[in-house]
Amino acid sequence: MGLFGTKKIGKYEIGRTIGEGNFAKVKLGYDTTNGTYVAVKIIDKALVIQKGLQSQVQREIRTMKLLNHPNIVQIHEVIGTKTKICIVMEYVAGGQLSDKLCRHKMKESDARKLFQQLIDAVDYCHNRGVYHRDLKPQNLLLDSKGNLKVSDFGLSAVPKSGDMLSTACGSPCYIAPELIMNKGYSGAAVDVWSCGVILFELLAGYPPFDDHTLVVLYKKILRADYTFPPAFTGAQKKLIFNILDPNPQRRMKLAEIIIQDSWFKLGYIPAYHQVPDSIKESVAEINAATASSNFINAFQIIAMSSDLDLSGLLEEQDVKIYKTKIGSKNTAQETIKKIEAAATYVSLSVERIKHFKVKIQPKEIRSRSSFDLLSAEVIEVTPTNCVIEISKSPGELRLYMEFCQSLSSLLTAEVS
């Protein structure tokens, strides 16, 4: 094969890189036994262990093995070497849906077909207790026939019965309002919201919520502040309006979309009429395997911008609790030192209460352990990127704002 060199993993010849992340590369593979192409996700085992991401990798593998649907990327097998974990997956040749959109709307019939396939796949996942939590055009692939394939289950969650999820995930334009509020949420409702945003983008060529400033973007999402293009039909508007309800309790359910909506039902042929009993894996086993994990999520990644400050947004929701997320392009240890320096600059003292969590107080009342002015926790995203989450207890706002400004200026100065 001209595209492939001599490198081989099992029965697969390994070719060019078709995707790359912090801990993994995705290579084009060739199955020498049947002549088909595959995608091989090659994960650096040492980095995974070093960063404590074993549970996240396990979750992606287990989730993908749990699912068998024509509109979901299939996993063929997992191969382990001394240094690598290789996930052999279905190769989807058509690329990302985001590349096809590129600010150009689709024909209504094409948009409907892709939306039907998306809803069908997501409904299948939900019926098996799996919630994607990061649905966006970049995670939706197209095969050579233009059919949709849902991919990237690294952020998915399989909750215990009745549980609300608490880890915020998702990408800025597509996340649901309840994720922004950092409260417990229903994974089903979050996925439905993202599907609504994707439908709008399929029909309009651009997402309903967008802004250069994240705080403004989040405010628009919280209010469901968007405008329909003039070309949208009444049926399209009705469906999107019912999905993009900022109240998850009122938000349209998947079953309501499939059974009740006339625009959706036109020409709809479900891939599965019921959830098959085959290929089932214990939800309890997946929960047990990842119960203690503190895996990275997309919300933390998008928060890495060093000028991100959500305090103004969250103040409108709760006048007693202020939270800020600030990005740091440093190691976790270096970031802690930056926090200490920023606190010293505004006459605050720092006391470590965990390895990467500190308590911050005015120096003159340090002995009063009952008084907690601020806490700052460093969440490591990659070896050289962290998110700092700063929380304020009831008390004086001035010192909180001074500290946040001091830290933000310190971090901004080093990257400018």
Q: So what's the pLDDT on residue 172?
A: 83
Domains and CATH numbers, the chain: 8-90 (3.30.200.20), 97-274 (1.10.510.10), 303-415 (3.30.310.80)
C-alpha–C-alpha distance, residues 339 and 356, integer Å: 11
Identify the CA nearest to 124 among candidates 75, 162, 67, 164.
Answer: 67
Q: Consecutive 10-residue runs of the chain (416 residues): their mean pLDDT?
A: 70 86 81 92 81 72 79 87 85 86 85 97 88 87 92 51 42 86 81 96 94 88 96 97 96 95 94 48 41 33 30 33 73 89 88 84 56 75 75 68 83 64
Q: So what's the pLDDT on residue 84?
A: 84
Binding site, by residue number, is: 41
What tokens appear for 126 in the block?
Answer: 């939900």
Q: What does the angle CA 348 – CA 352 – CA 356 come to, to the nearest 5 degrees?
A: 115
Q: So what's the pLDDT on residue 245?
A: 96
- Cβ–Cβ under 8 Å, residues 57 and 85: yes
What tokens appear for 318 in the block?
Answer: 């709760």
Q: So what's the pLDDT on residue 81?
A: 77
- Cβ–Cβ under 8 Å, residues 226 and 250: no
Residues annotated as part of the active site: 134
- Cβ–Cβ under 8 Å, residues 372 and 361: yes
* Radius of gyration of the chain, Cα coordinates, nearest whole angstrom: 23
Q: So what's the pLDDT on residue 285?
A: 42
Binding site for ATP, by residue number, is: 41
Residue 206 CB partners (closer than 8 Å, separation 6+): 103
Is the torsion defined by CA of 118, 119, 120, 123 positive or negative? positive
Q: Strand, helix or coil at 44? A: strand
Quickly tell me which residue has 């952020």 as its tokens. Answer: 155
